[in-house]
Amino acid sequence: MFQRTYVMIKPDAVERRLIGRIVSRLEDVGLTIERMELAEVTREQAEANYAEHAGKPFYPGLIEYVTSGPVVKMVVSGEEAVAVVRKLMGATNPKDAAPGTIRGDFGLSLDANIVHGSDSPESAEREIGIFFS
């Protein structure tokens, strides 16, 4: 099914000059970058995006981290875009992410794990609304 998903290159990856290589991986499989913007995430946007994790021990640090510097916000589309992006990203913890995935190749830290991608079509529409309103 044709889908849109929300992808975000997190602050550490922007700082490490990884934008081009991450966008290339999305384009390499044939996904379309529909929108793309370098921007700061507001605290309100971060809290809305990660609402499901509110109350967890890592939540304050997660909000702090994602608002710590510029990110790249993207709307990405294509056949099964949500699952395809999740596959390209790899496991949440870069230490568990397979080689060849974005997190597996570029990351080592669970806190700073390079990239965000929506986990369902419903999350995607909600997150696109948060970041592109």
Cβ distance 126 to 4 under 8 Å? no
- The closest alpha carbon to 31, from 9, 8, 2, 10, belongs to 2
**Binding to Mg ion in span 92-121, by CB under 5 A:** 119
Q: How many residues bind to Mg ion according to rule CB under 5 A?
A: 1
User: Least CB distance from residue 15 to ligand IDP, whole Å?
Assistant: 15
Contact call for residues 35 and 132 (beta carbons, < 8 A): yes
Closest to ligand IDP by CB, 65 or 78: 65
d(CA 129, CA 123): 10
Among 21, 92, 95, 108, binds ligand IDP (CB under 6 A): 92
Residue from 113, 127, 128, 131 touching ligand IDP (CB under 6 A): that is: 113
Q: What angle do CA 112, 117, 118 make, to 5 degrees?
A: 130
48 lies in the site for ligand IDP, by CB under 6 A: no
Helix, strand, or coil (residue 114):
coil
Residues 114 and 126: their CA atoms lie apart, in Å, by 21
Told to judge if 116 belongs to the known catalytic residues of this protein, a careful annotator would answer yes
Q: Which of 71, 107, 116, 128 binds ligand IDP (CB under 6 A)?
A: 116
* Residue 15, SS3 per DSSP: helix
Size of the site for ligand IDP (CB under 6 A): 9
Q: Which residue of the set 4, 76, 116, 127 is catalytic?
A: 116
Output 78 or 86, the one with its CB closest to ligand IDP: 86
Cite the active site residues.
116
Q: Which residues bind Mg ion (CB under 5 A)?
A: 119
